């Protein structure tokens, strides 16, 4: 049993071993550059021998006007787990900028220090480094995403991190989105994220592996941040008018079903259920987020409770968070419930 558990843990850990490409980091960070001036950046899931995050920030240290760059390198106790982590102890690196004027981070300009433990981002010594940082930028282990984000929130850090877009529906993560404490960043080109993978991890990570490039493609990955950027405040252009025929009302919740984000009616002031992809276009000045269908208890969303009197299928109808239209499960995928802030004075359907 214990062996099974260890094996599961080891396989989970291998699933976390994929590495962000430099071009993707460059492409994303360019939208937030003004936030970095005079700041200490921490990359806390980053073996500098393989992670491009340290590379990017050290080479762009002067251009971004950074104050300090810190990287911690995770070294799992089980030595054979990761092919990359072959040194005895975990380390952390510090870079304070170019000293010899060649504009390149030379080895003698990078301070390398040993950590006492394995470099787990949750350890006291890593939390101590976190406290010294202003902005955390990395691609953390997906398997620990909730914990990772909770820790950033606890220490009130600014961040720009990569995660699976499935995490949007985790109740802990969605709560932050709803409260305006976390939002999606600019995103990967055409929604496709390509990562480098090493060694046998190829057998464990999801996505489509391309033999030629050695890259694996994840369709459902994105950047999460709490750094503001201009485009986030651009209105989604709405062109459709509300009609009851085109936008059915749910049976068990006072909202209409909008199957595509692009079809959000411009003149509906009530609550609308939209797909999760809405968040890619979400402007907090234009829309208010009220809840998510499959996280009703914690996000202020509660569907009507059916009893035996309503229908013999009442148990089915009460399935947590499912929205119904004419007794059918209309929105089988999660729906985000939103309201158009700009219409707050209007009557529904006006
Ligand atoms: C998705 S990979 C990304 C690596 C690197 N940040 C990049 O983008 O290229 C996540 C990394 O987190 C490391 N990691 C796993 N568990 C960790 C923990 N508890 N604390 C710190 N790092 C961890 C893994 O070894 C892995 O290299």
**Residues 39-68: tens digit of each pLDDT:** 999 999 998 878 899 999 999 999 999 999
From the CB of 148, is ligand 1 less than 6 Å away?
Answer: no
Q: What is the CA radius of gyration of the chain?
A: 23
The verdict on residue 99 lying in a domain is: yes
From the CB of 54, is ligand 1 less than 6 Å away?
Answer: no
The verdict on residue 349 lying in a domain is: no
> For ligand 1, what atom is nearest to the CA of residue 140?
10
The verdict on residue 299 lying in a domain is: yes
Ligand 1: residue whose CA is nearest its atom 7: 19
Structural domain ending residue among the three candidates 231, 262, 295: 231
Average pLDDT of every residue of the chain? 86
CA of 209 to the centre of ligand 1 (A): 20
> For ligand 1, what atom is nearest to the CA of residue 50?
9
Shared domain check, 146 and 25 = yes
Shared domain check, 238 and 227 = no
The verdict on residue 45 lying in a domain is: yes
pLDDT at residue 184, rounded to an integer? 97
Rounded alpha-carbon distances, angstroms, from residue 301 to 25, 178, 184, 298, 339: 36, 12, 22, 8, 13
Instruction: pLDDT band for 300, please (50, 70, 90 cuts).
Output: low
From the CB of 121, is ligand 1 less than 6 Å away?
Answer: yes
Shared domain check, 145 and 86 = yes
Maximum Cα–Cα distance across the chain:
80
pLDDT at residue 259, rounded to an integer? 92
Shared domain check, 322 and 210 = no
Residue 91's domain comprises 2-231
Lowest average pLDDT, out of 158-172, 179-193, 209-223, 301-315, goes to 301-315
CA 308 to chain centre: 41
pLDDT at residue 81, rounded to an integer? 38
Structural domain ending residue among the three candidates 231, 252, 273: 231
The verdict on residue 71 lying in a domain is: yes
From the CB of 223, is ligand 1 less than 6 Å away?
Answer: no
The verdict on residue 329 lying in a domain is: yes
Shared domain check, 124 and 69 = yes
The verdict on residue 303 lying in a domain is: yes
From the CB of 17, is ligand 1 less than 6 Å away?
Answer: yes
Shared domain check, 135 and 16 = yes
From the CB of 28, is ligand 1 less than 6 Å away?
Answer: no
Q: How many residues would you count in the chain? A: 350
Shared domain check, 74 and 179 = yes
pLDDT at residue 311, rounded to an integer? 80
Shared domain check, 119 and 134 = yes
Measured CA to CA, the distance from residue 166 to residue 218 in angstroms comes to 12
Shared domain check, 289 and 218 = no
Measured CA to CA, the distance from residue 229 to residue 33 in angstroms comes to 10
pTM of the model: 0.90
- Give, as one character, the DSSP assignment of residue 240: B
Measured CA to CA, the distance from residue 51 to residue 112 in angstroms comes to 16
Pairing state between β 215-218 and 208-210? antiparallel
Structural domain ending residue among the three candidates 231, 247, 282: 231
Measured CA to CA, the distance from residue 132 to residue 266 in angstroms comes to 46
The model's pLDDT over 129-181, given as tens digits with 9 standing for 90+, comes to 999 999 999 999 999 999 999 999 999 999 999 999 999 989 899 999 999 99
pLDDT at residue 203, rounded to an integer? 65
> For ligand 1, what atom is nearest to the CA of residue 43?
6
Lowest average pLDDT, out of 76-80, 251-255, 292-296, goes to 76-80
CA of 31 to the centre of ligand 1 (A): 24
Measured CA to CA, the distance from residue 299 to residue 342 in angstroms comes to 22
pLDDT at residue 245, rounded to an integer? 95
Shared domain check, 202 and 257 = no
pLDDT at residue 200, rounded to an integer? 62
The verdict on residue 348 lying in a domain is: no
Shared domain check, 319 and 195 = no
Ligand 1: residue whose CA is nearest its atom 4: 19
Shared domain check, 158 and 14 = yes
CA of 296 to the centre of ligand 1 (A): 32
Q: How many domains does the chain have?
A: 2
From the CB of 20, is ligand 1 less than 6 Å away?
Answer: yes
Measured CA to CA, the distance from residue 268 to residue 248 in angstroms comes to 12
Contact yes or no for 231/280 (Cβ under 8 A): no
Residue 334 has pLDDT above 90, yes or no: no
């Amino acid at each position: 049993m214990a062996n099974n558990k260890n094996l599961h843990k080891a396989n989970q850990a291998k699933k976390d071993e994929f590495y962000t490409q430099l071009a993707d980091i460059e492409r994303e960070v360019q939208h937030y550059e003004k936030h970095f001036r005079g700041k200490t950046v921490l990359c806390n899931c980053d073996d500098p021998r393989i992670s491009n995050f340290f590379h990017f920030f050290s080479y762009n240290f002067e251009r971004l006007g950074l104050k300090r760059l810190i990287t911690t390198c995770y070294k799992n106790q089980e030595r054979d787990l990761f092919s990359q982590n072959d040194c005895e102890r975990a380390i952390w690196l510090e870079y304070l900028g170019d000293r010899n004027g060649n504009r390149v981070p030379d080895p003698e300009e990078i301070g390398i220090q040993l950590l006492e433990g394995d470099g787990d981002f949750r350890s006291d010594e890593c939390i101590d480094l976190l406290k010294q940082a202003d902005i955390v930028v990395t691609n953390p282990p997906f398997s620990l995403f909730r914990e990772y984000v909770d820790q950033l929130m606890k220490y009130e850090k600014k961040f720009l991190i990569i995660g699976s877009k499935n995490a949007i529906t985790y109740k802990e993560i969605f709560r932050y989105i709803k409260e305006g404490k976390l939002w999606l960043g600019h995103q990967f080109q055409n929604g496709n994220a390509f990562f480098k993978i090493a060694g046998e991890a190829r057998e464990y990570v999801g996505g489509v592996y391309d033999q030629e490039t050695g890259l694996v493609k994840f369709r459902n990955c994105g950047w999460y941040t709490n750094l503001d950027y201009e485009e986030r405040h651009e209105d989604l252009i709405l062109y459709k008018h509300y009609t009851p025929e085109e936008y059915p009302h749910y049976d068990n919740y006072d909202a209409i079903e909008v199957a595509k984000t692009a079809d959000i009616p411009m003149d509906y002031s009530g609550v609308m259920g939209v797909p999760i992809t809405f968040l890619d276009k979400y402007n907090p000045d234009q829309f208010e987020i009220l809840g998510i269908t499959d996280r009703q208890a914690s996000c202020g969303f509660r569907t009507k409770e059916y009893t035996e009197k309503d229908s013999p299928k009442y148990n089915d109808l009460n399935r947590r968070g499912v929205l119904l239209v004419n007794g059918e499960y209309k929105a089988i995928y999660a729906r985000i419930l939103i309201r158009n802030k700009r219409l707050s004075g209007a009557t529904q359907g006006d």
